Amino acid sequence: MMSIAQVRSAGSAGNYYTDKDNYYVLGSMGERWAGQGAEQLGLQGSVDKDVFTRLLEGRLPDGADLSRMQDGSNRHRPGYDLTFSAPKSISMMAMLGGDKRLIEAHNQAVDFAVRHHPCGGTGLHTGDDGRTVRNGADR
């Protein structure tokens, strides 16, 4: 299953997704850049909080500024949070039963979905509970 939520604040989201006490990150398999957007921006490996926050603010690694100023404030839409969740029966077998093949299959399915999602994706992380959260900035 995939759920979508609009990211409303770049600064708050930057902290939320990179906070090591965050529910989604506890026991995480690691945050990493993913998708066509990440490839186009030359982003690879682990997600850097400062780069991620700048992206959410509309500032690209090459210095381009996509932010939209209006009345003295940035009206840029940071992006969308796509959360991928395996069915409960699968996550129970994977996490409680210890079947790592199910976790890997879920991760591969999420990677495929992120690569082929129209927005292109920029980053994702997978939590220990089998939920994968994909973080993206508008292109």
Task: Give the pLDDT band of residue 137 (cuts 50, 70, 90).
Answer: very low
Catalytic residues: 16-17
Q: What pTM value is reported for the model?
A: 0.62
Q: What pLDDT, on a 0 to 100 scale, did the predictor assign at position 125?
A: 47
pLDDT at 119: 61
- Per residue in 17-63, pLDDT (tens digit) is 766 555 555 444 457 787 778 888 999 888 888 888 888 888 889 98
pLDDT for position 123? 53
C-alpha radius of gyration, the chain, whole number:
15
The per-residue pLDDT for range 66-120, each reduced to its tens digit, is 877 778 877 777 877 778 888 889 888 888 888 889 988 988 888 888 777 666 5
- Whether 138 shows a pLDDT value over 60: the answer reads no
Task: Determine the pLDDT at residue 107.
Answer: 83
Q: Which residue has the tokens 């996509």?
A: 66
Point out which residues pair with 79 in neighbouring strands. 7, 137
Share of the chain above pLDDT 90, in %: 4
Separation between Cα atoms, residue 93 and residue 97, nearest integer Å: 5
In this prediction, residue 26 carries a pLDDT of: 42
Do residues 6 and 106 make contact, with C-beta atoms less than 8 angstroms apart?
A: no
- Other beta carbons within 10 angstroms of residue 100's beta carbon come to 9
